A = this chain, B = another copy of it.
Amino acid sequence: MSNQQIWFERISSLLEEEDDKQIKEELLALEPADIEEVISQFDSFKEQRTVFRLTEDTEKRAELLSLLEDDLKIKLAENADPKNVARLIEEMASDDAADFLADLENDTLIKEILTHLEDEVRQDITKLLSFDEESGGGIMTSELCAFPDNLTVKDVLNSLQPETLKDPVMYIYVIDSVSKHFQGAISLIDLINANPDEKVGEIAEPSSIWASLDEDREKIAAKFRKYNLWVMPVLDHRNQIVGRITVDDILDISIDEADEDIAIMTGTSEVVSHDANLMEAIRLRLPWLVVTLLLALTNAFVIGHFLKSLDKFIVLAAFPTVIAAMGGNTGMQAATVFIRELALEKILPEEFNSLILRETLSGLLMGIVCGLIAAVIAYIGIPLLYADGNSLDPFILAKIIFFSVCFGMTTASLIGTLIPIMLRKGGLDPAVAAGPFVTTMNDILSSFIYFLIATTLLKVFL
């Protein structure tokens, strides 16, 4: 049994006994993320709220609140005194506080809570809420330690106040005492080791790596990974430091982006979580399936159309699935290179042409190998299946299959590279190229290729 399950069962039975004192004890030993998992296992709001209320220590309760599922956050906030909600928000890091309010999705309630916040906190949060969620401003926190360059190390060490900072601190930032321009950073460990009487402006390391308020969060995440950063300052257009982005948020963003890619590739507009309900899962999936269905039916009509004129050679009807499967997989492989590496900002535009060439060549070479294998198997297998006499010469069939597999895989590779690049240029997510829409379009194309080759070769040979 998992830890979560043990905690859940223990707290469940304590809830039945209404032993609030013991529940408080139990919760004291758990981290907020663990309490969130316990709460998510209860079905009734009453029990969920009781566990939330019995979580002592305002700071811990604030962190728990920011971790809860959106619908539970909303219910709790709607059923609580806005003053109390405001007290908890004041304990959150400003980015979590802004995210929390945004998640409530209820403008009246948000305004009500905002009025009960301390002025400074309210200003911070209102500012953060005004930024695009996907930008540097949208993912930064405004708490940071910035000091004028003319202070001494000793002054700074004496004025650091940990209680005002809700995220971990590794660096203090140094700004120009007059212009307030950002100058650089000093790690705490270097600060501790510095000469106490030295001016911080003299020991700050000038940093060329920072984010701007409107920088795309994927680009920021790529910089974190490239330079192995833990924290990054955010500067506004006047070159003043206005916040910092922390690596824990970047970790979440990176996982979310990967999940989003996978969701798109497998045909759901968002990730379907394991705890989504049935209707939610269907709502996210069905639209994509219906589009796929319409395209697949188009393919069926293409096949049907060609078969009408080729009905002497019914054996031909067995192979469209082979061409489609091979084209689909090759195209997917080619697309994947672009999807992830474009997302991770690893490919430079200068490299596009050589990559398109490599992929097309790879498709052609693999197409020759697979085409030969398929042709040989069909040449040997089809006479065995149609032992009672098959109206199509197995050698011609083998040729049709060889050329369509080979040509189909080459075309699919080319398309698999071109579509992600075009999507990217059009500002769309390249992952769409590996999704069901493009895959099924490829199926239609492969049916055309197959039957055109079949019709041509049959005209030549018969």
Residues of A within 8 A of B (CB): 2, 4-5, 29, 31, 33, 157, 160-162, 165, 168-170, 187-190, 192-193, 208-209, 224-230, 246-248, 250-252, 254-255, 258-259, 261-263, 265-268, 271-275, 277-278, 281-282, 285-286, 288-290, 292-297, 299-301, 303-305, 307-308, 311, 314-315, 317-322, 324-326, 329-330, 332-333, 335-341, 344, 346-351, 355, 358-359, 361-362, 365-366, 369-370, 373-374, 377-378, 381-382, 385-386, 405, 434, 436, 440, 443, 447
Tell me whether A157 and B192 are in contact (CB under 8 A): yes
A27 to B188, CA, bound (A): 28
Q: Is the CB of A378 within 8 A of B297?
A: yes
Cα A448 to Cα B315 in complex, Å, equals: 17
Query: Do A304 and B299 form a contact, CB below 8 Å, given A292-B325, A336-B272?
Result: no
The residue of chain B having its C-beta at the shortest distance from the C-beta of A145 within the complex is: B189
Instruction: Tell me the nearest residue of chain B to A348, going by C-beta.
Output: B2
Q: Shortest 10 CB-CB distances between A and B: which pairs? A: A317-B317, A258-B258, A304-B318, A296-B325, A228-B248, A188-B188, A296-B322, A266-B336, A303-B318, A300-B318
- Residues on the B chain within 8 Å of A317, using CB: 303-304, 307, 314, 317-318
Known: A255-B225, A262-B261. A278 touches B361 (CB 8 A): yes
| Count of this chain's copies in the oligomeric assembly | 2
Other-chain contact of A262, B308, B321, B336 (Cβ < 8 Å): B336
Contacts of A190 in B (CB 8 A): 162
Given A193-B160, A225-B252, A248-B228: A362 and B278 interface contact (C-beta under 8 Å): yes
Q: How far is the CA of A165 from the CA of B369 in the complex (A)?
A: 53
Q: How far is the CA of A418 from the CA of B290 in the complex (A)?
A: 24
From B162, B225, B274, B324, give the contact of A251 (CB < 8 A): B225
Q: Is the CB of A247 within 8 A of B258?
A: no
In the complex, chain B residues whose CB is within 8 Å of the CB of A29: 208
| CB nearest neighbor in B for A156 | B192
User: How many angstroms from the CA of A432 to the CA of B373 in the assembled complex?
Assistant: 24
Q: Which of B209, B266, B307 contacts A434 (CB 8 A)?
A: B266
Q: Cβ of A274 and Cβ of B325 under 8 Å apart?
A: no
Known: A285-B330, A293-B326, A293-B405. 9 other contacts (CB 8 A): A31-B208, A247-B247, A266-B333, A282-B366, A289-B326, A297-B378, A311-B314, A317-B317, A317-B318
List of B residues within 8 angstroms of A443 by Cβ: 321, 325
By the criterion CB–CB under 8 Å, are A362 and B282 in contact? yes
User: Within the complex, what minimum Cβ distance (angstroms) separates A247 from chain B?
Assistant: 5
Q: A262-B262, A329-B289 are in contact. Are A307 and B297 (CB under 8 A)?
A: no
**In the complex, A341→B271 CA distance in Å?**
10
Indicate which residue in B165, B281, B289 contacts A189 across the interface (CB closer than 8 Å): B165
Shortest CB-to-CB span from A84 to chain B, Å, is: 24
30 contacts between A and B (CB under 8 A): A2-B350, A4-B348, A5-B348, A33-B226, A33-B228, A160-B189, A168-B187, A188-B188, A225-B248, A230-B230, A247-B247, A255-B344, A261-B262, A266-B336, A274-B337, A274-B341, A274-B351, A278-B358, A282-B365, A289-B330, A290-B370, A290-B373, A292-B326, A292-B329, A300-B318, A301-B385, A303-B318, A307-B314, A321-B324, A321-B443
CA–CA, A344 and B315, complex, Å: 47
- The answer for the CA separation of A266 and B420 in the assembled complex, in Å, is 15
Residues in chain B near residue A333, CB distance under 8 A: 266-268, 272, 285, 289
The closest CB in chain B to the CB of A281 belongs to: B362
Given the complex, which residues of B lie within 8 Å of A295, measured CB to CB?
Answer: 325
Complex Cα distance A370/B268, Å?
16
Give the residues in chain B near A347, CB-CB below 8 Å. 274
Please indicate the chain B residues that have their CB under 8 angstroms from the CB of A161 in the complex: 193
With the chains together, A271 CA to B337 CA distance in Å?
Answer: 8
Q: In the bound complex, how far is the Cα of B439 from the Cα of A267, in angstroms?
A: 14
**Complex-state Cα separation, A454 to B253, whole angstroms:** 48
